[in-house]
Structure 1
Amino acid sequence: MAKLHTYTAEITWTGNQGTGTSNYRAYRRDHDVAAEGLPTIPGSSDPAFRGDPARWNPEQLLLASVSQCHLLSYLHLCAVNGVVVTSYVDRPVGTMEETPGGGHFTEAVLHPRIEVASPEMVEKALALHTDAHKACFIAASVNFPVRHEPVVTATPA
């Protein structure tokens, strides 16, 4: 039997400037993303949609979720397969296409840069990205392709 996990959050719109949504320009897209016991994330829409560029937008958060999930799956697989990761930085890129009345992501490309403890680990470290992708809950849940273009090097002695 499958184990079920439930997640909760509270999203509170903070952009009412006194007249609510009386017209398209009358309100800010600002909101807070919160969950019990965690720091609040300041959110808005993408600046292309009148959002605040100083706040996280949903598209960035989606991309970050895909990248975080891959990172955590990858680190686990490395740990259980004898690959010692000493550094991991990803700069993912997501592409969204606007369509009449909406839009959708067309792909996400992860660009992880990984250092491992020895040159003998590089080949296995590269190969484990395929398994990490298969194990990632978020990548398995989205309806767009998630690709990864990793670069793995050995930590200098």
Structure 2
Amino acid sequence: MLGEHRYTVRSTWTGDRGTGTSGYRDYDRAVTIEVDGKPALAASADKPFRGDPTRWNPEDLLLAALSECHLLSYLHACVQAGVVVVGYDDEASGLMVEDGRGGGAFREVVLRPRVTVTDEAMVDAATTAHAQAHEWCFIANSVNFAVRHEPTILVAGS
């Protein structure tokens, strides 16, 4: 299936404390992110950048997008390979490096999916399916840094 898919999101700054951006410390980094038909997401900058650590930040969202995209692509790859997955969780981490000029970039993300399959005979195919999932992941194919995988495959009932 070929096609173009457009996505829209509305980001609204809600951090005016009454004086706008009159100074770097004078405004809150609070943002509301909305997509029609979905719950609003409370966001902010990361804590080191004067943000609210109880809210999602752009770095969290990028890491979450990579993790979920791989998960969904992986499940599809497993169906095609005849692998029955009954559990999947991921402890993903990312390294972002500041450049000293006010910017920075992610250097890498490591996904650590822990997958549970129904049969020992599926372990090799379950491991191989991560490479196919990486090829299919729209988000991983859109970033300019390494996205590595360190999977663990478990067998249900073992």
| TM-score, structure 2 normalization | 0.97
- Deviation, 1:101, is 2.6
Aligned length: 157
Question: Deviation per CA, 1:126-154, whole angstroms, max 9, x where unpaired?
Answer: 01101100110000000000000000010
Alignment of 1:4-153 (within 5 A): 4-99=4-99, 100-153=101-154
Specify the code of the residue in structure 2 equivalent to 1:56. Answer: W
Specify the code of the residue in structure 2 equivalent to 1:113. Answer: R
Question: Deviation per CA, 1:55-88, whole angstroms, max 9, x where unpaired?
Answer: 0000000000001100000000111211000000
Identity of aligned residues (%): 53
Q: 5+ unaligned residues in a row in structure 1: which ranges?
A: none
Q: 5+ unaligned residues in a row in structure 2: which ranges?
A: none
Distance (whole Å) between structure 2 residues aligned to residue 71 and residue 84 of structure 1:
14
The alignment's C-alpha RMSD in Å is 1.1
Distance (whole Å) between structure 2 residues aligned to residue 106 and residue 51 of structure 1:
22
| TM-score, structure 1 normalization | 0.98
Distance (whole Å) between structure 2 residues aligned to residue 55 and residue 101 of structure 1:
22
The ranges of structure 1 where at least 4 consecutive aligned residues each deviate by more than 2 angstroms after the TM superposition are none
Question: Deviation per CA, 1:82-138, whole angstroms, max 9, x where unpaired?
Answer: 100000000100000000230000000000000001111111000110110011000
Distance (whole Å) between structure 1 residues aligned to residue 130 and residue 93 of structure 2:
17
